[in-house]
Amino acid sequence: MELDGARVLVCGASGVLGAAAARALKDAGAAVVAAGRDPDRTAAVAADLGTEPLVLDVVDTDACAATVAAAAEALGGLDALVVATGVAGFGPATEQDPAVAEELFAVDALGPMALVRAASRHLPDTGGCVAVLSAILADLPTNGMAEYGAAKAALSHWLTVLRRENRRRFTVVDLRPPHLDTGLADRALAGEPPKLPAGLDHATVVDALLQAMRDSASEVVWDNDAKQLAVR
């Protein structure tokens, strides 16, 4: 899709990756609305975008629909949705608190699904795009991350079916990067992360996101042989 002039909602814009994506899209010529959970950080991003911020907790699926509708109204329509929401949780599969597991699935799977469902009603008949952050965990089950990884895998599976069902309507980009430098693991709902590699520079993911949107690609994944992100 053409980013210059596109009308884009970025959810998760109060986080490091979402904020960077929103600003990069603005620099590419898009009109961007930022939505995020933290009012102050979202407002700071929105100030750079020249649009009003929207406060959103993706656990509330009704709020997801209302946020998308508000963004579409503010922008005069909606051409693309970027979802960069997420939360981590760690611990053995048999010991995880059920409440933590529920929140992991709510934030990492059900909330993004609700956002995409709502956005699908506002996207143009052809040429729109939804780009959603899942994680490398969708492809790489990892000890100590059973619920976290399962939520990401569920989201990635859902995006695959969404892409097939809507292949003539809009592009679906599934971003599955490795561990990033955003500090997400340090803000986990529960548990301590296992030993992780150095976090990939989030700016690399933002660059790949914009390329994928421009190229109408299907996914951004980690190429372990080349040691870099692949857009395909």
> 117, 165 in Cβ contact below 8 A?
no
Write out residues in the chain with pLDDT < 70, as ranges: none
Helices (H), 76-201: 98-105, 111-120, 146-165
The reported pLDDT for the residue numbered 95 is: 96
What is the pLDDT at residue 128? 98
pLDDT reported for residue 26: 98
Q: Per residue in 17-49, pLDDT tens? A: 999 999 999 999 999 999 999 999 999 999 999
Residue that the structure tokens 């509708």 belong to: 69
With a CB cutoff of 8 Å and minimum separation 6, the contacts of 12 are: 18, 35, 36, 82, 83, 84, 85, 86, 133
Residue-level pLDDT at 161? 98
Rounded to whole angstroms, how far apart are CA atoms 76 and 69? 10
Cα(84)–Cα(66) distance, integer angstroms: 18
Q: What is the structure's pLDDT at 9? A: 98
pTM of the entire structure? 0.97
What is the per-residue pLDDT across 117-144, written as a single tens digit (0 to 9) for each? 999 999 999 999 999 999 999 999 999 9
